Amino acid sequence: MNTMTDAAVIAQQAPQASPGNGRKFGNVILDVKNISLSFGGVKALTDISFDVREHEIRAIIGPNGAGKSSLLNCINGVYQPQQGTITFRGKSFRHMKSRQVAEMGVARTFQNLALFKGMSVLDNIMTGRNLRIKSNLLLQALRIGPAEKEEMRHREFVERIIDFLEIQAFRKTPVGQLPYGLQKRVDLGRALAMEPQVLLLDEPMAGMNVEEKQDMCRFVLDVNDEFGTTVVLIEHDMGVVMDISDRVVVLDYGRKIGDGTPDEVRASPEVIKAYLGTSH
């Protein structure tokens, strides 16, 4: 999306009822406090704080290089911020491994897909169940006793996700043969297979055509609505962000310059300036 289009959406769209209106949120499930992250001399994030409430759809936006992915990577345990804390369901951490974060109930999708291209849709989504597989590797390999029953249960769960995402026709298709929009949907399915309480989506609509974006929006809203999953998403498409988010955090040069409902954020002169002043 070009500069004027982004800025135009932020500044000129007629204020509408926020999608947050009438929606019920729970307590704070994720609390990011005073996070700072540097790579050598590059300050990727400076003193970032924001919270996410249960059942909310929370967007993180900002021009290229603003620090969005770095922030998601801190929440996810991929990056370890030099300062600040992240509290997830009352448990605080700064240096947590990705696997531990995942075990606590946080799943994510990736900007650049992290799927096994040669494996089927079903097997890719099944990899999302790994954290939940209890039986040992030998029993799994031999598919005997409790391992067989457990695998059946996981397969049933994965089939439900496949139905939910309307990708039944591609169950056995190697992921690499699918159009990009469907690959993104499989990536969402893999994250959903973890039964997350918080789903982090890194540019879920990137590279999609209009129809694919509409489908993905619907799935994100349905996941949030039907499973009550809290969603934190990075997205460049301002129309999408303003349509589906309850609250929006705005970053620029690693600092937070806005935080509020879509209406509040798009009325902010600082946010408008950040978008007009960039080639993104």
Ligand X SMILES: Nc1ncnc2c1ncn2[C@@H]1O[C@H](COP(=O)(O)OP(=O)(O)OP(=O)(O)O)[C@@H](O)[C@H]1O
> Measured from the CB atom, is 66 or 238 closer to ligand X?
66
Contacts of 62 by beta carbon, 8 Å cutoff, 6+ apart: 68, 250, 251, 252, 257, 274
- In the block, tokens 């900007």 appear at 111
Cβ 68 to ligand X, closest distance in Å? 4
Residue range at the interface with ligand X (CB under 6 A); choices 38-46, 86-94, 204-212, 263-271: 38-46
> Measured from the CB atom, is 167 or 274 closer to ligand X?
274
H/E element, 146: helix 145-164
> Measured from the CB atom, is 150 or 202 closer to ligand X?
202
Cβ 31 to ligand X, closest distance in Å? 20
> Measured from the CB atom, is 13 or 278 closer to ligand X?
278
Cβ 32 to ligand X, closest distance in Å? 14
CA 2 vs CA 5, 191, 202, 207, 236: distances in Å: 5, 30, 20, 14, 10
Instruction: Give the distance from CA 29 to its chain's centroid.
Output: 15
CB-based contact 85:47 (threshold 8 Å): no
Cβ 176 to ligand X, closest distance in Å? 24
Q: Which of 1, 4, 42, 152 binds ligand X (CB under 6 A)?
A: 42
Residue 5 to residue 237: CA distance in whole angstroms: 10
- Kindly identify the residues of this chain, within the stretch 143-162, that bind ligand X according to CB under 6 A: none
- Kindly identify the residues of this chain, within the stretch 65-104, that bind ligand X according to CB under 6 A: 65-70
Cβ 262 to ligand X, closest distance in Å? 19
Closest CA to 45 of 97, 86, 77, 83: 83
Number of chain residues interacting with ligand X (CB under 6 A): 11
- Amino acid identity at 45: L
Handedness of CA 150, 155, 158, 159 (dihedral sign): negative
Cβ 86 to ligand X, closest distance in Å? 16
Residue 185 to residue 201: CA distance in whole angstroms: 11
> Measured from the CB atom, is 73 or 197 closer to ligand X?
73
Cβ 102 to ligand X, closest distance in Å? 20
- Kindly identify the residues of this chain, within the stretch 249-268, that bind ligand X according to CB under 6 A: none
DSSP for 152-184 reads HHHHHHHHHHHHHTT-GGGTTSBGGGS-HHHHH
Q: Which of 2, 12, 39, 95 binds ligand X (CB under 6 A)?
A: 39
Residue 62 touching ligand X (CB under 6 A): yes
Q: Which of 2, 17, 24, 64 binds ligand X (CB under 6 A)?
A: 64
- Which residues pair with residue 87 across a beta bridge? 31, 92
Point out which residues bind ligand X (CB under 6 A).
Answer: 39, 42, 44, 62, 64-70
